[in-house]
Amino acid sequence: MKERVILGMSGGVDSSVSALILKEKGYEVIGIFMKNWEEKDEYGVCTATEDANDARRVANQLNIPFYTINFEEEYWNRVFSYFLDEYKKGRTPNPDVMCNQEIKFNAFLDYALKLEADYIAMGHYAQVKEIDGEYYLLRGKDKNKDQSYFLSRIDQKALSKTLFPIGHLTKKEVRKIAEEHNLYTAKKKDSTGICFIGERDDFDKFLDQYLLTKEGDIVNVDGGKIGRHTGLIHYTLGQRRGIGIGGIGTGEPWFVAGKDLKKNILYVAQGENHPALYSTSLIGESPKWILERAPKTPLKCTAKFRYRQQDIPVTVDILGNGELHIKYDNPVKAVTPGQVAVLYKNEICLGGAIIKSIEPLEEKYRFINPTWSY
């Protein structure tokens, strides 16, 4: 009897090729499109409907069953509410990480198991390896597309039941397979938007639909009010564009260096190497370990504080309250509270934590990120 795999089909080329590979390997494949967000674009078209139709076309090409399931309520309660709460705290969240933790590898997994699935599958660039009954999360072969960062908070139950059919391939190889088999999505452009919320030309306008904003002062970290901001939720640490400051100081660009939520102040620094932009360590809250047990500390490993970042050598300690103190070997620019610090040992993703606060490079700049404490 064939093993049953419930595949999350997004309407993109990655999940399409995943479906093809699984079928060729002899699995009983069922495609499921997860509808987690309902909103029409400026032309009155729901992009989720378009993606679902693309996924259905591929399923028909491959002659596999295809269904759509609605997770809008779960997404709102478990992901989008968290997303909004983080912005209210003045932080910059990563909903893609939380979507994987709460929806794709939780609600979707539970749904699949009710359908007597042996496994679920996703078109992620990542790999799973089982050693002595434990399941390890490994980076995908394509280092430019590796998605282990976004999977860093899923658990052993999910990993033991998950297949990543394209994790051993590069994006170029995936495209080639799709074209060779004339899959409908072979040349479809990759999505770059937030998980299920999609791509948006005006993200500030989107946030303003859900959160109240209040104008306030923009203050130079080295002294003096130099402008007005449109609401702290519209800015993130390290941001250069859209601050609205020009013709002041040396002529070098200005960068967001910090936020004070209580005083409603946006702090900025001039020059891309200004010391106020750098930190030397961070506190990570709500840690999650892939093996569901903490490693021995102090732990020397590498970390990423955002998806596209190069690995950074760090030393990790576990504090008495369970939070992580992650000290970098060298100062790092624009580490952002609300994002995820993901830890690696070579190709293995160990897990990670939500960045709670950062330690300034220079003590005199502590005031620009007043939540730091250690």
Active site residues: 99, 195
Contacts of 310 (CB under 8 A, 6+ apart): 304
Q: What element of type H or E holds 57?
A: helix 47-62
Laid out side by side, the sheet with 216-220 consists of 225-229, 216-220, 265-270, 254-260
Question: DSSP character for 374?
Answer: -
**SS3 (DSSP) at 24:** helix
Q: What is the DSSP string of 275-338?
A: GGGEEEEEEEEEEEETTSSPPPSSEEEEEESSTTPPPEEEEEEE-TTS-EEEEEEEEEE---TT
CA angle 79, 83, 88 (to 5 degrees): 145
- Is residue 231 left, alpha or beta, with left meaning phi > 0 and alpha meaning psi from -120 to 50? left
Residue from 27, 103, 26, 17 nearest 59 by CA: 17
- Is residue 44 left, alpha or beta, with left meaning phi > 0 and alpha meaning psi from -120 to 50? left
Rg (CA), the chain: 22
Measured CA to CA, the distance from residue 11 to residue 8 in angstroms comes to 9
Residue from 29, 33, 35, 34 nearest 56 by CA: 33
The answer, yes or no, to whether the previous bond of 295 is cis (omega within 30 of 0) is no
**SS3 (DSSP) at 117:** coil
137: its two tokens: 């999360």
